Structure 1
């Protein structure tokens, strides 16, 4: 096949093709795809766009008995003349865009089929209760409607029974709408149902498995639960903290009085009234802070307490937001709403402040306590004095970060 090298950047046209026996001329090399093939025109049956011009996104393949030339991606102006190709040769014009679209469509179909097969296997293997038919990808999300969720669930329960399965995206949810069934589940089958769903906002590098709220059922969770039931929520401990609760309530009333004693000009300039819910939340937050750290976490005189309150409040706000990554696992690595990233930031900031409280208490304990002054034991004291068996449970809590995880997530 007579070939002539392309020189410069001038356009070139295609002319006649001469066939030589195999071995009579130079063998096929990688550079021949960019060579000049003289006097070969696109036939009349080729697409109109190909007859006019071949663009860079087009592959031109000339297939013959001995040679195959591909990937002529140079912009090639074509002459309008039409001539017949030599016998045994034909031209294929392939649009890369079409192939890319076909590949994407085939990949999407395969992924959808795989997801449907996985859903079917989960229904059979897990023996989930019946429920409304779900849509691909979104599940039963749209069947909940735009009204209050409890009303939508009550309507669905009338058609599908007191136990039904809903799919919120790829997350399976069993809905119980009967008090008798709920009593049976949580009284006789509580161990089998002790696992919990960990949402993306609660995952991170801060050790969510160490918390009583987010840890899965096991020795560590049982140890934390035992500490709470025997040391923290017993009647004697609650009676000992009666004065702390009274102090927190008095503080809340003082906050309300300060807010209501504004001047008439301030009240007329403001359109907002007194937010009692906020003051009750602040009171509960301070109560928990006193029970755990023996400190007012929201004290006008304490900058650290105010910062801890701010970051802890942001964590609770972000954890309560609906997160698309919880319903569609393919979005986890994207974190489209930034919930996990922002939660991680505020948790780390809260850990820094709480870590200072823990470090101060540990140093005070090592130095002999509070100079002989007796005080009510708080939850942090219980953790510092804990001694486990060292097998299934930790022998003791010596790491401020471990205590931080337990204390912060217990809030």
Structure 2
């Protein structure tokens, strides 16, 4: 087999070289493309992605080449947006032109030919499912009705922290479990018999979709994933996850909720709509499964990462933590925290905003131009991939004073929010494809922080000083702290005695 593999490798290398060179030749035209760094043969600008993280690399390049920058990433022509002004042109002024997602082998494979809301092509099906998402799956009423799940999981997390009181504790595992359990129970209910395996498969799918593979930058080289065995591994994961979803659907069909829709989980909602709603496009089982996977994946890592970053920043600045605790403890009554009370926690909300500004998702999900377009006087050809560097926008000195500092007070007299209308702060996106689950995701973060700050005091272990905390980023599924924060929880009753 070894000589055969060598022959395959030589053929693959030759094809990559020929197709990449042809792609580079084709980009040389009379079009007025945005500025960008010089390209290498075959790689284009791929070699420049190595470093502290692509979002940091793109941000540094933008300082030299400007807020709209053209890159050739393998075979893929790519435009990177790094300022609020240009992001507004893409996500609002020309939103329809950039409403599509780029084709992806992994999204097609895992999301049932991209029939989820996040990756579905812009068109009638996407509009129908987006409407269902906004009015049924993630409506304000639905989020409120599932609040009891979040409260139960917060109680479990609080009891775990009480059992660890006085001892150095790594928060990451507790936070991840809390978020995963809330999202899983809200989406598929308690019907899943193997919750730990469900979470493992979710992370495998997220890695496959997000991490580098040959077809991400060389779409014509799909056979490489077959030769290397990646495709077989993905298919195995997809098959196991599909079987799990089929079991969940069957259990829900056999145990339909009676009467009120209040206690429905998202599977119940989708099955009810599938069976009773008068839809322009009938919903298939694969459509249901694609949307369920969408919901499970959407907040699985992002919310827990945001909570961990918030606690890291608060441990670095004890005065900010004390101010937040003073607000909570002066206002809250009793042992539980209600959503209506959270709405009055203005400083807590500012902490969440500032955390998302500095440590939110680095990039918005990519878009692709549906036809030729002009942005900032530059030509953007059809089928160009567009990446909005959200963290570059939210730390742009032209939009923010002292942008790299963690300072929740900056929002005290500001109306800027993350709902998609302020393009200097778009952790959830903007325009037609803004994230529909903002209220649900932010609620998970706010309630966890409120619980942790209200019921516990916190200190660093082993005499560690706040300034010694390391803010180095690790680029995995999200931009999370490279070194998980270790803290010592102290029961409030203990700290008062």
TM-score, length-scaled by structure 1:
0.60
Within the alignment, does 1:185 sit opposite 2:90 as a pair? yes
Q: Match of 1:409?
A: 294
Partner residue of 1:165 out of 63, 67, 70: 70
SS of 2:40's partner is coil
Q: Deviation of residue 281 (structure 1)?
A: 1.8
CA contact (8 A) 1:211 1:410 kept: no
The change in CA–CA distance for 1:226 and 1:232 in structure 2 (over 3 A counts) is same
Q: Deviation of residue 305 (structure 1)?
A: 1.9
Q: CA RMSD in A?
A: 3.3
Query: How far does the alpha carbon of each residue in 1:6-27 deviate from its partner, in whole angstroms, 9 at most, with x for none?
Result: xxxxxxxxxxxxxxxxxxxxxx
CA contact (8 A) 2:23 2:75 kept: no
Within the alignment, does 1:376 sit opposite 2:263 as a pair? yes
Partner residue of 1:350 out of 233, 241, 249: 241
Partner residue of 2:178 out of 273, 283, 286: 283
CA contact (8 A) 2:117 2:129 kept: yes
Distance 1:323 1:114 in 2: 17
Q: Match of 2:462?
A: none
Max Rg structure = 1
Partner residue of 1:359 out of 250, 253, 257: 250
The change in CA–CA distance for 1:148 and 1:113 in structure 2 (over 3 A counts) is closer
Q: Deviation of residue 296 (structure 1)?
A: 7.7
Within the alignment, does 1:132 sit opposite 2:17 as a pair? no
CA contact (8 A) 1:131 1:164 kept: yes
CA contact (8 A) 1:231 1:237 kept: yes
Greater helix proportion? 2
Partner residue of 2:232 out of 341, 365, 385: 341
Partner residue of 1:246 out of 151, 154, 158: 151
Within the alignment, does 1:196 sit opposite 2:101 as a pair? yes
Distance 1:236 1:220 in 2: 24
Query: How far does the alpha carbon of each residue in 1:181-231 deviate from its partner, in whole angstroms, 9 at most, with x for none?
Result: 112211222221111124333332762321112211111111111111111
CA contact (8 A) 1:206 1:348 kept: no
Q: Match of 1:315?
A: 205
Within the alignment, does 1:295 sit opposite 2:190 as a pair? yes
Q: Which has the higher contact order (CA 8 A, sep 6+)?
A: 2
Distance 1:339 1:111 in 2: 18
Query: How far does the alpha carbon of each residue in 1:266-320 deviate from its partner, in whole angstroms, 9 at most, with x for none?
Result: x9xxxxx7442222122111111222222286xxxxx522222222222223333
Within the alignment, does 1:305 sit opposite 2:195 as a pair? yes
Distance 2:200 2:134 in 1: 29
- Unaligned residue ranges in structure 2 (runs of 5+): 1-9, 297-497
Distance 1:186 1:195 in 2: 12
CA contact (8 A) 1:164 1:176 kept: yes
Distance 2:150 2:137 in 1: 14
Query: How far does the alpha carbon of each residue in 1:96-124 deviate from its partner, in whole angstroms, 9 at most, with x for none?
Result: xxxxxxxx99x95x985664444443564
Q: Deviation of residue 251 (structure 1)?
A: 2.2
- Unaligned residue ranges in structure 1 (runs of 5+): 1-103, 268-272, 298-302
CA contact (8 A) 2:24 2:41 kept: no
CA contact (8 A) 2:74 2:218 kept: yes
Query: How far does the alpha carbon of each residue in 1:66-93 deviate from its partner, in whole angstroms, 9 at most, with x for none?
Result: xxxxxxxxxxxxxxxxxxxxxxxxxxxx
SS of 1:226's partner is helix
CA contact (8 A) 1:137 1:169 kept: yes
CA contact (8 A) 1:200 1:340 kept: no
Distance 2:235 2:145 in 1: 36
Distance 2:134 2:171 in 1: 31
Query: How far does the alpha carbon of each residue in 1:133-165 deviate from its partner, in whole angstroms, 9 at most, with x for none?
Result: 211111112234434333332332233221111
Distance 1:231 1:374 in 2: 10
SS of 1:210's partner is coil
SS of 2:179's partner is helix
The change in CA–CA distance for 1:255 and 1:324 in structure 2 (over 3 A counts) is farther
Q: Match of 2:320?
A: none
Within the alignment, does 1:237 sit opposite 2:128 as a pair? no
Partner residue of 1:210 out of 115, 128, 132: 115
Q: Deviation of residue 246 (structure 1)?
A: 0.6
Distance 2:278 2:29 in 1: 41
TM-score, length-scaled by structure 2:
0.51
